[in-house]
Structure 1
Amino acid sequence: MIAVSAASGALGRLVIDRLRTRAEVVAVVRDPARAPAGVLVRRGDYDDPASLRTAFEGVERLLLISSPELDTPRRIAQHLAAVTAATEAGVGAIAFTSFLGADSAATGLTEAYHATEQAILATGRPYTMLRHPFYSDAFLPRVTGGELTSGSGGRGLNTAFRSDLAEAAANVLTSDAHLGRAYDFTGPLWTYPQVAEALGVPYREVPDAGPGPMSWINAQVRAGELERQTPDLEYVLGRPPETIVSRLLTGLPRHA
């Protein structure tokens, strides 16, 4: 049996969808009323360790999807509670949706992921670390007023779509070949000017509007922090990951 925690979230639902025809799967959710349909459902709340232990009983492999909690100390506590519950319940192997850089950085954005990876390693159980980049879904460029703008300085982004990351997770959970591995997932490198050219619209660089998450991310992009590339995602998928341009050209219009 494979369990997917936080299965009512966007990533969890995609993973469940890709697993339902390949294995016996259980959706572990805080609110069973919001669980994906068509699969076994168990209540498991990151703030209720006892519920997690019960939810993980009989599970051979667990996909521990990181908590959406933004407060780092609370997020670490939630993750560690889940790891402990999985160990106590006798879960055979743990796959964890980590973040790029969590193996070497223990502060800032990666602090909770680093702490969780270390806790999983300390259990001595078989594991797979799935270090995600930022999601392409949140960066799909939008053409406004006939042009594409950004504050990225024309530098590259290594984002990947949730759908590809979900498929990669399903592949990992249904094969022994990925046990004991840590994957640094990156999508195909792209830039806003390249997307503008592909869409046939002009590109204009604009300053950040002010403080906030996107302003911080743009600063990281301009510094080249999102240009790292690895073959890991393509390897686990067995095919090239979807590109931003292909999604834009085959999907709904992105104009306003």
Structure 2
Amino acid sequence: MIVISAASGALGRLVVDRLRTRGDVVAAVRDPARAPEGVQVRRGDYDDPASLREAFDGAARLLLISSPELDPARRISQHLAAVAAAKDVRVGAIAYTSFLGADTTPTGVTEAHHATEKAILDSGLPYTMLRHPYYSEAFLPRVSGGELTSSTGGRGLNTAFRSDLAEAAANVLTGDGHLGRAYDFTGPLWSYPELARTLGLTYREVPDAGPGPMSWLNTQVRMGALERQSDDLERVLGRPAEHVADRLRR
């Protein structure tokens, strides 16, 4: 039996869809009314450890999808409760959707992921770390009047689509040779100027619109922080990951 935590979220639903024909799948969700249809459902609330033990009980494999909580302290508490529950009921193995750099950077975006990876290692459970990049969906450009604009300084982005990350997770959960591994998933490197040329558009660099999450992300891109590359995602998928240009063409 494979249990998917946070299965009512965007990534969780995609993973469940890809596992429907691969075995016995259980969707663990905070609110069963919002669970994916067509699979067994159990209540598993990150803020309710008892519900997590019930949700994870009997799992040969568990996909622990990271909480959407933004506060690092609360997110860490939720994740540690989930790892403790998995250990208590002796799940066969745990795969965790971590973030690139969580193994080396214990602060900022990776703080909760670093703490969770450590807890999983300390638990003694067989594991696989799935370190995600930023999702491509958050960076899809808006095109107006044949022009594409951004505030990224022309630097590269290693983002990946949720659909590819979900398929990779499904492959790890149902395949052999993944235990004890940590995968650094990145999509094909792309940039907004390159994207404009590919699509036959004009590119223009514009100033940041002001403070906010995207402004912070644009700063990270301009610093080259999203240019790290790995072939892990392609190898786990068994094919190239989808390029942003191909998604936009469709």
TM normalised by structure 2 equals 0.99
Q: Does 1:229 align with 2:237?
A: no
SS in 2 for 1:78: helix
Separation of aligned partners in 1, 2:35 and 2:76 = 24
- Counterparts of 1:47-196 in structure 2, within 5 Å, are 47-196=47-196
CA apart distance, 1:95: 0.2
Number of equivalences: 250
SS in 2 for 1:239: coil
Aligned to 1:211: 211
Separation of aligned partners in 2, 1:181 and 1:168 = 13
Separation of aligned partners in 1, 2:17 and 2:105 = 32
SS in 1 for 2:63: strand
**Deviation by residue 1:81-127 (Cα, 9 ceiling, x = unmatched):** 00000100111100000000000000011000000000000011110
Aligned to 2:243: 243
SS in 2 for 1:91: coil
Aligned to 1:253: none
SS in 1 for 2:117: helix
Q: RMSD of the TM alignment (CA)?
A: 0.6
Separation of aligned partners in 1, 2:133 and 2:212 = 19
CA apart distance, 1:140: 1.0
Stretches of structure 1 lacking an aligned partner (at least 5 in a row):
251-256
SS in 1 for 2:143: coil
Separation of aligned partners in 2, 1:146 and 1:180 = 48
Stretches of structure 2 lacking an aligned partner (at least 5 in a row):
none
Separation of aligned partners in 2, 1:184 and 1:211 = 29
SS in 2 for 1:176: coil
Separation of aligned partners in 2, 1:105 and 1:111 = 7
SS in 2 for 1:178: coil
Aligned to 1:14: 14
Aligned to 1:38: 38
SS in 1 for 2:177: helix
Separation of aligned partners in 1, 2:192 and 2:18 = 31
Separation of aligned partners in 1, 2:137 and 2:220 = 18
CA apart distance, 1:176: 2.5
Aligned to 1:254: none
Letter in 2 for 1:49: P
